Structure 1
Amino acid sequence: MDASTIESPAMQLNCIQELATTGARAVAGFVHGGTRYLAVPQLARDIEGQPAKMTLGDSDLEMPVYRWEGGRFVPHASLPVPGGEDAEFFRIGERAFLATASLRSGRDPYTLAVPSTIFELVDGRFEPFQRIDGFAAKQWHHFAIGERHFLALAQGVTLPGEQPAQPVSSCLLEWDGTRFVPFQDVPSAWGYNWAFFEVGGERLLAHADHAVPSLLLRWNGERFELFQQLDGRSGRAFCFFETQGQAWLAFANLHGDTLLYRWQDGGFAVHQVLAGLGGREFAWRGDAQGGHLVLVNFLHGTREAPIPELESIVFRMDDGRLVEAARFATSGGTDAAFFEADGALHLAVANSLSAAVRFATPSRIYRVDGLGASITG
């Protein structure tokens, strides 16, 4: 499928820019000091002469940060984020931070016990603020409960020969006024992702895990406790949204069905199967008509024989069901994010792996036409 233009009766995606990324794992957009930025964590770059394999490559590389200028993104900074998997922008009072997650470092052999760096934005510069020890870190997620600020770190892996000396769990950190300190471990084996939201009077934290069941945890006023176990394995991501008078939770699975849950009777029940294998990430945008959900598909097959060239899907909410609105080509797609700039809606999409199983794969910026005014991010 031609990635430059994707059309449906209600929308059109026009590719306006390709970013020269390598193993891109996320697109984190944010505005600071009146400037729009886009951070793109990168897992690895190709090594000349090395076999094409998604588990190889050079992970001692930097994370590019772009700024929006003249209707496109231009290079702004490069940050030392080896084996980059994620970036999370957040604020605490007047201070602004960018938490980055590093899966690994090295060029084979690799080190999975690598610190992840939280940067603080100071006078337009990204300055290292705190390094958090971790093991195969995947994603940060910032959330607040009242005046308390938390960072959740999804991490871990269960591959033979890649086990830490001591068991590793995903974990929560809390801001103590000067830095982030350990707060609570979360049962996990191969943690991937988070979502925090409030529904039905409950504060819930969703944790996606590849190797064990993914969980919904409930805040009991002091800590998080088990609330609900979700269907399927190989969990990758969540997206909670409210529209048309209902609360919904989309749950992406790499090796199983991607599902849509609906909140009813004090819990989430499966409402719809959205897609089959390959689910990796979501982007949601609400509007007066119900909203659109982007499902980014990663790959089919195995780590040893991956098929990265897939179609990702845009759904629209129509009378209580998500129906397909458009498809667009991704190559090892890992993330997507809506943003508005210069009076237009855009969609940033991260691609991590080419058809030839090489890391040098462009990520894309689309201009989105035909969706109307946004009511939620």
Structure 2
Amino acid sequence: MKMADTTMDCIQELDTSGARAAEVFEHAGTRYLVVPQLAEDIAGQPAQMTLGNSDVDALVYRWEGESFVEHARLSVPGGEDAEFFRIGERAFLATASLRTGSGPYALDTHSTIFELVDGRFDVFQRIATSAAKQWIHFEIGPRHFLALAQGVTHGDTPLAPGAESCIYEWNGERFEKLQTVRSGWGYNWAFFEVDGQKLLAYADHAVPSQLLRWNGNSFEPFQELEGKSGRAFRFFETEGSTWLAFACLHDDTVLYRWSDGRFVQHQVLSGPGGREFDWIATPDGGRLVQVNFLHGTREAPIPRLQSTVLRMTKGRMEPVAEFPTSGGTDASFFEAEGRRYMVVTNSLSGEVRFRTPSRVYRLDFPADKEPA
């Protein structure tokens, strides 16, 4: 599809069920794609996004030619996320499991960190989690951290001990808990540095999302953000300014600009439905990809939406492409053999069934070829 200066051609559909994330990475000369899956449909069961069989695998693909082929399957029940990272010469994949079972469901389970060894994904560490949604790995000097967004609460009911979103640190042999974060229904993270400050953005559905600042020993509250049902952040720099996009499911998705030592709201990007972002750096200033999840409620969802590609033009983000998503959950950009590609995961069909294809797009930005 084409709109203004961005062309997206779907070159492959992946047979996925409740796909919740796309993690593309290279290791030992092979490009991999990992797609955690939340659930699969149960024959005869009513169409409802909170049902299904969650005892499913995460799909591991490898890139061959110009397509992905299945490479392996990993036991990641109720899969929500996969995060690839390295510590020295070692390579790891942290996965998040929301739940297990096929009704009743158990939110208190474990999430698995795998280590890549000789082309295998070996179990390295299992961590007790509760409704786990997302991991993020980041480094501060020689220190390695994994932050975990998790938990489910309703109203003012506090989370049980051990269910709060938290931050782990590598101790040289494994990850151990460093601190917890005020949380209710954790979803996502973004780590970045601005004006010498190391900030960790935390998105939560039930309590205010916030920015945390590293003080040398731990992360402390720095700035609380407006908007409910927080889902994701994306930090980027373009047109000489520093920006932070903030997606909300039931509120507006907005763009913040760094000004005088804090982020100030700059622009509303869209209404409700926001789920995830990706940032594509290009010579002409870059593109922000916004993936939309659904409208409506968990009981009556509308998953077929349009997601967008936006470009900064004179201080305003303007849409330059749209692409259809169905319960869209993630976008992961990569380059291979001089071409640009993006994987987009879909988790829910228009009929509210888990089996719905995720897609691989080839991207073209003609503006890249224009003289600077």
**Alignment TM class, shorter chain as reference:** over 0.9
Residues 52-78 of structure 1: CA deviation (Å, up to 9, x unaligned):
000000000100000000210000010
Q: Percent identity over the alignment?
A: 66
Matched, 1:264 2:292: no
1:299 partnered with 2:294: yes
Q: Distance in 2 between matches of 1:218 and 1:163?
A: 24
Trace 1:1-40 onto structure 2 (pairs within 5 A). Answer: 6-40=1-35
Give the aligned partner of residue 168 of structure 1. Answer: 163
2:339 pairs with 1:344: yes
For 1:183 and 1:21, locate their aligned partners in 2 and report how far apart those are by CA, in whole Å: 35
Matching residue's letter, 1:353: L
Per the alignment, residue 93 of structure 1 pairs with: 88
Partners of 1:125 and 1:212 lie apart in 2 by 39
Find the aligned partners of 2:89 and 2:366 in 1 and give their Cα distance: 34
Q: 2:67 maps to which residue?
A: 72
Cross-structure match for 2:52: 57
- Report 1:1-377 matches (<5 A): 6-159=1-154, 166=161, 168-370=163-365
Structure 1 unaligned regions, length at least 5: 1-5
- Alignment-derived partner of residue 3 in structure 1: none
- In 2, Cα distance between the equivalents of 1:29 and 1:301? 31
1: CA distance, partners of 2:71 / 2:128: 27
Taking structure 1 as the reference length, the TM-score comes to 0.96
Q: Is the CA contact (8 Å cut-off) linking 2:80 and 2:98 kept in structure 1?
A: yes
Letter in 2 for 1:25: R
Instruction: Measure the CA separation in 2 of the matches of 1:279 and 1:100.
Output: 22
User: Deviations along 1:187-219, whole A, 9 cap, x unmatched?
Assistant: 100000000000011000000000010010000
Consecutive unaligned residues in structure 2, runs of 5 or more: none
Query: Aligned-pair distance for 1:370?
Result: 2.1
Q: Which amino acid aligns with 1:333?
A: G
Q: Structure 1 stretch 144-153 or stretch 283-292: which is displaced more?
A: 283-292
The residue type paired with residue 288 of structure 2 is L
1:324-350 Cα offsets, whole Å, 9 max, x none, are 101110000000011111221001000
CA distance in 1 between partners of 2:346 and 2:158 (Å) = 28
Q: 2:305 and 2:135 mapped to 1: Cα distance?
A: 26
Structure 1 position 9, deviation (Å): 2.3
CA apart distance, 1:318: 1.1
Q: Distance in 2 between matches of 1:286 and 1:170?
A: 30
> What is the root-mean-square deviation in Å for CA atoms of aligned residues?
1.4
- Asked if the contact 1:158–1:190 (Cα under 8 Å) also holds between the matched residues in 2, the reply is yes
Aligned to 2:77, what secondary structure does the other structure show?
A: coil
Q: Return the letter of the residue paired with 1:305.
A: A
The AA in structure 1 aligned to 2:363 is V
Q: Cα distance, 1:287 vs. partner? A: 1.6
Count the aligned residue pairs: 368
Amino acid at match of 2:141: G
Q: State the shift of 1:369 in Å.
A: 1.2
Taking the aligned partners of 2:355 and 2:160, their CA distance within structure 1 comes to 33
Query: Which whole-Å deviations, capped at 9, do the CAs of 1:90-129 have from their partners, x for residues lacking one?
Result: 0000000000000000001000001000000001100000
Structure 2 Cα separation of the partners of residues 197 and 370 of structure 1: 27
